[in-house]
Structure 1
Amino acid sequence: MSSSEIFITKRDGKRERFSIDKIRAAIAKAFLSVGSFATDEMLTQILGRIRVADGTTVEQIQNQVETALMAERYYKVAKAYIIYRQEHTEDREVRDKLQFLMNYCEAKNPATGSKYDANANVENKNIATLIGELPKRNFIRLNR
């Protein structure tokens, strides 16, 4: 199977054609972020450690990039790459919470505004009911 026939799974569940150039660009940017430059030879060595099959997730690929950077002893670059990923994870979480807040405020009542508890046993939306909704996602994840 050629790389043009491989599809990866994005975070939102959509499938997208695999592109080694996106990985190459991300690694090159990680090198630049620490004031270094990745040669073609360095990129080839790092990319040679990454295995992608049909259905591989973006997270799995990024985990492999971290491992490959460390295996090739580019620890400073790996650290920058890990921090960059963490910051973007936090940005996505903030974006999701803001979207939830907007949806909650636009909802007609607490039950329709609740993403996790449509049986909300309150009559009116207010800051107290909203604050109670915010941690539910994490509680559900922890419970599972």
Structure 2
Amino acid sequence: MQDSKSDSDGCDFSNAVNIEFKFENGLIPAIVQDAESKEVLMFAYMNEEAFRLTLETKIAHYWSRSRQSLWKKGETSGHYQHVINIFFDCDADCLLLFVRQDGGACHEGYRSCFYRSIDGEIVGEKVFDEKEVY
């Protein structure tokens, strides 16, 4: 599976504005949406290295708070997030990534991590068997 898309897709991150982003305790929240459907796929944190690697590779990288380590989304599962564009909020303390998602974003096998309603009903699409991937 290919883990990057050509430079002609999405923004040219080499022209990223020089903004002083607010990394609280070394992290900045990142909301991830499908670039085409606008479905919210997941929420994660980035540290400065994850943010830099994401800009350089156009593949989403995050900081795992539970494992205390950097992770490249899709490295284990093959379900990469190809970053099409990145936006930031008015306070420069939150990121919004528009991505092209390969397979599912959720480690439990769903397209989106937001696959349950507040009453517990499964409303999302299961796209892979997590037991076969992890």
Q: Same fold (TM over 0.5)?
A: no
TM-score, length basis structure 2: 0.30
Using CA pairs below 8 Å that are at least 6 residues apart, which structure has the higher relative contact order? 2
TM-score, length basis structure 1: 0.28
Q: Which one has the bigger strand percentage?
A: 2
Q: State the structure with more CA Rg.
A: 1
